[in-house]
Amino acid sequence: MKRVWSLVVALALTLGAAAVVRAQAPPVAPAPAAGPVSGLQRIAFIDVQRVLARSAAGVAAREQLEREKATMQKEMDNKRIELEKLRDELEKKGALLTPDNRREKQELFERKRRDAARLADDFQKELEKKETALLQKVLQEVSGIIEKLGKDRGYYLIVEKRGAGVIYASTDADLTDEVIRAYDREAPAKGKK
């Protein structure tokens, strides 16, 4: 998610650069209100979240994260069952134990509970770190595709729909599906290298 915000900030900075380019460019007649993207339109947008949700690499990254999350959840479930057994043993047999044995069991239970809480926190941080790394990789690859598409099609500016504060955008200016298709075409080629 941090990478998404970095991309948004970079695109926002580009917006300022595009204003300079536009100020230096000869006046351009306004684009027609409706219809396909004409040669006069020089601004487009993409929805990065949709790219992450629908591109093959984005889906694969999410599936990989879900598998790792399931593995971690299974381990946490085992820890929870172990803690429940210890708690039940303390509740049922606690009155029969000597004070020293009861204290030892209680300390063991508390230690295992803290360890489980620490493990859960570590798992959460690890998942966030992996998610950031996977999404950053996808976004880095997508950034190159967006840049190439922008140069090839002659856009002054391509903004990220959600982070740029786009209030209105014609669907004709939406390059998201085109970016997804280009990214999916390039992804298998990169995997073979």
From first to last of the 193 residues of the chain, give the pLDDT tens digit: 444 444 433 444 343 433 333 333 444 344 444 444 455 568 888 888 888 889 888 898 889 899 999 999 999 999 999 999 989 988 888 788 888 888 898 999 999 999 999 999 999 999 999 988 887 888 888 888 888 888 888 888 888 887 766 656 677 788 889 889 998 988 766 655 5
Q: CA quadruple 133, 134, 136, 141: dihedral positive or negative? A: positive
Whether 33 maps to a domain, the answer reads no
On whether the pTM is more than 0.75, the answer is no
Determine the Cα–Cα distance for residues 160 and 162; give it in Å rounded to an integer: 6
Number of domains comprising the chain: 1
Whether 34 maps to a domain, the answer reads no
Determine the Cα–Cα distance for residues 5 and 12; give it in Å rounded to an integer: 10
Containing domain of residue 77, as a range? 2-28+40-192
Look at residues 174, 187, 173 and name the one whose alpha carbon lies nearest to residue 145: 187
DSSP classification of residue 29: P
Whether 35 maps to a domain, the answer reads no
Determine the Cα–Cα distance for residues 130 and 144; give it in Å rounded to an integer: 22
Q: In this structure, are residues 162 and 49 in contact, taking their beta carbons and an 8 Å threshold?
A: yes
